[in-house]
Structure 1
Amino acid sequence: MENYTYNSFTLQLEGLNVSEDYVYTVFLFIFFSYLFIIVVNGGIVVLVFLDKNLHQPMYLLFWNLSINDILGSSIILPRLLVDMLHPPSERLISYYECVIQAFIIHMCGTTVQTVLMIMAFDRYVAICNPLRYAAIMTNKMLVKLTVSAWGVSFVLVGIMVSLTIRLNRCMTMIRGLYCSNAALFKLSCESVF
């Protein structure tokens, strides 16, 4: 068996395999779940943005988590809903769209973890140094921590995805609901050590 390279720019997603009897039921459930996610997180974003009393570190970190949740669910769920209505052979995605989707999904996951670490630091300072809390957790410090959370996520995931896209591909089937770094990695037939 020969090792061949097939760098196709069109990939096929396995998607969500649901019986034809339940496609519309599952579609409506996912659609209303997505609407709920957008409305609730959008409400938190607007509330924190408009209410000056909520311009405190913990609420601004909640604001970051809501933005991240809107971004993460908006990159996965609309595509999943569209693919559910197509037969498996027509669930196609371009390679570049797949890479962008994988990048944003992993960046959202990494950003959640870094923002939660900042929230833990905020609570640690509030509990262990309550009298110095206002001096330590200033708006300037919060901006630095927030930018670093998103920046570190961007750099780490950028490195991870760039190491994956340099590999030649010999397969075109993405096994899963969406594109991820692991799914892109599995398309390669090269030695990945």
Structure 2
Amino acid sequence: MTHSHFRFADEWLAVDGHFPQAGDTLPSFMLVDEQLRDVSLEHFLGHDKLVVTLLSLDAPMAGLALLQELRRQLEPWPQLQLIVITVDSPFSLARARKEHGLPYATLLSTLRGRDFHKHFGVLIQDVPLSGMTCPALWLADGDDRIYHAQRLRHEDDEFDFAGLRQQLAARFSTLPR
């Protein structure tokens, strides 16, 4: 098990679990969608995907605003499956979709998938965010092989969008305008 930190306000919070890196395979999961249905990683087999964890869609920084920026960055690659995972309840996910649209994003809750946190190395251990998922992302192919992985270290950080776009352009041989 690896140990990292996430800065929230003025505190460094411990983040535990094995963080999968480029070259690894995404660990399997079983999570819950906004309709209370179980959804596994196998549901996305054969599709290139971007798996993203956020603190919460309601978080002021590492939440909805970060997701909306990520969606803007992904516009040139509509074939990419965007899978967003938070500790939010399925009811909160449904509300967020109703209020903000969030097209082309699969929203999943860790409600019945608490092992997800450790298998993906995003389990925040310390108060006040203990039990939440540290913001992170993994770009993976249809066989779940990871091409790009990043875990944020501060609530105000953004993902390395330039690096992600470079990986996407190389993967899909398509340069965005």
User: TM-score band (shorter)?
Assistant: under 0.3
Normalised TM-score (structure 1)? 0.20
Normalised TM-score (structure 2)? 0.21
- Taking CA–CA contacts closer than 8 Å with sequence separation of 6 or more, which of the two structures ends up with the larger relative contact order? 1
Q: When you count strand as a share of all residues, which structure comes out higher?
A: 2
Q: When you count helix as a share of all residues, which structure comes out higher?
A: 1
Q: Based on CA coordinates, which of the two structures has the bigger radius of gyration?
A: 1
